[in-house]
């Protein structure tokens, strides 16, 4: 597994949709975590209760771990691994329809707040767009929450699988996907609203070019041909962005249909 060299004098924060942490553990997750040189790692789509995970993943040496599973077994769920203990971790948006799906952790580390989210897909069981209203409601509820954190003086990073490609440059085949959830106008407009409010797409801040993706269909050799979508992000509030020194995607890291994304930060952010 290739890695991106961490900038000297910085701390690294990484997000990865692992597409089932137990499965990813069998493909080298613990070894990757150890050499990631990350201070904080957020994972999405854990799809397991904490006691179903191997001990080396549930409580990896050198890390504090926090999990927010879904009520439905084998579904959704998020987790955080941090080399320093969090001051507080909240896993609730205050709405049962969201909280039951285990999609969120809001962790405070000093002045820094890390929001680890697995945003809903808009596609339903029938491969339609029936879950788009739920997805957009989640976006809006979280937006209100993080805006309050900003007003309270926190330096906020929102990271995770946002399940939306924002611009045409963020997916390999935009014209073929304008009617599919993940690239619908109303989903993209919701991300526009975040950017208009001052949130910064950290990767795009440093890299305007196309061809950089974080998810590939597991069919037809899409990953080998780099026919993908960039749907995993680290968004920074203006107060946090002042401390961001670099952003990256790690497409060579295998173990999931997604790859890790992250940022390098000035340690003063804490």
- Which residue numbers are catalytic? 161
Angle, in degrees to the nearest 10, between helices 185-196 and 132-151: 0
Closest residue by Cα to residue 98 from 146, 65, 136, 66: 136
Taking CA atoms, 215 is separated from 154, 161, 176, 218, in Å, by 30, 9, 17, 9
195/253 Cα distance (integer angstroms): 28
Q: According to DSSP H, which parts of the chain are helical? A: 21-25, 29-35, 55-58, 96-99, 132-151, 185-196, 202-206, 238-241
Q: How far is CA 43 from the centre of its chain?
A: 7
Tokens of 92: 């609730």
Q: Report CA Rg, the chain.
A: 17
């Amino acid at each position: 597994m290739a890695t991106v060299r961490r900038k000297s004098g910085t701390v690294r924060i990484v997000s990865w949709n692992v597409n089932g942490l137990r499965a990813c553990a069998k493909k080298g997750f613990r070894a990757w975590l150890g050499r990631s040189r990350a201070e904080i790692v957020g994972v999405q789509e854990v799809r397991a209760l904490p006691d179903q995970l191997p001990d080396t993943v549930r409580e990896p040496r050198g890390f504090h771990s926090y999990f927010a599973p879904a009520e439905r077994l084998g579904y959704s769920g998020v987790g955080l691994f941090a080399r320093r203990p969090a001051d507080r971790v909240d896993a609730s948006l205050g709405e049962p329809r969201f909280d039951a799906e285990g999609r969120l952790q809001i962790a405070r580390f000093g002045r820094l707040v890390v929001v680890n989210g697995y945003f809903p897909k808009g596609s339903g069981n029938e491969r339609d767009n029936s879950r788009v209203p739920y997805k957009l409601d989640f976006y809006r509820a979280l937006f209100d929450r993080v805006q309050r954190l900003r007003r309270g003086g926190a330096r906020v990073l929102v990271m995770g699988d946002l399940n939306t490609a924002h611009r045409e440059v963020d997916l390999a085949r935009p014209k073929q996907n304008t009617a599919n959830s993940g690239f619908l106008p109303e989903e993209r407009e919701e991300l526009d609203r975040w950017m208009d409010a001052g949130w910064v797409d950290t990767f795009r801040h440093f890299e305007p070019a196309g061809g950089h993706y974080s998810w590939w269909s597991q069919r037809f050799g899409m990953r080998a041909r780099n026919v993908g979508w960039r749907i995993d992000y680290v968004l920074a509030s203006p107060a946090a962005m002042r401390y961001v020194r670099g952003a990256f995607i790690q497409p060579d890291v295998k173990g999931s249909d997604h790859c890790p994304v992250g940022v390098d930060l000035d340690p003063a952010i804490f």
